[in-house]
Amino acid sequence: MDKTPKTAIRGMMLYVLALLVLGVLAGAAYTIYGHPADPSERPAAETIPQTAPAPQ
């Protein structure tokens, strides 16, 4: 099998690094700006009915 050129390996590593950086930036932006615009709106966790555990 032929050896992979170092430039190709460097390019792939740079591509993976760029994807990781973009993922972190997208996650940070979602965390900062992903909240509801209306603060009076109830969180989704409060709208899910909670069932009580069955008595034993």
Q: Is the pLDDT of residue 53 over 60?
A: yes
Range with the lowest mean pLDDT among 1-5, 8-12, 20-24?
Answer: 1-5
Query: Is residue 41 included in any domain, yes or no?
Result: no
Q: Is 48 part of a structural domain of the chain? A: no
Per-residue pLDDT at 54: 67
- Does 49 reside within a domain? no
pLDDT, tens digit, 9 for 90 and up, residues 25-48: 998 888 888 765 666 777 777 777
pTM: 0.53
8 part of a folded domain: yes
Please, what is the average pLDDT of the chain?
82
Domain count, the chain: 1
3-state secondary structure string, 1-56?
CCCCCHHHHHHHHHHHHHHHHHHHHHHHHHHHHCCCCCCCCCCHHHHCCCCCCCCC
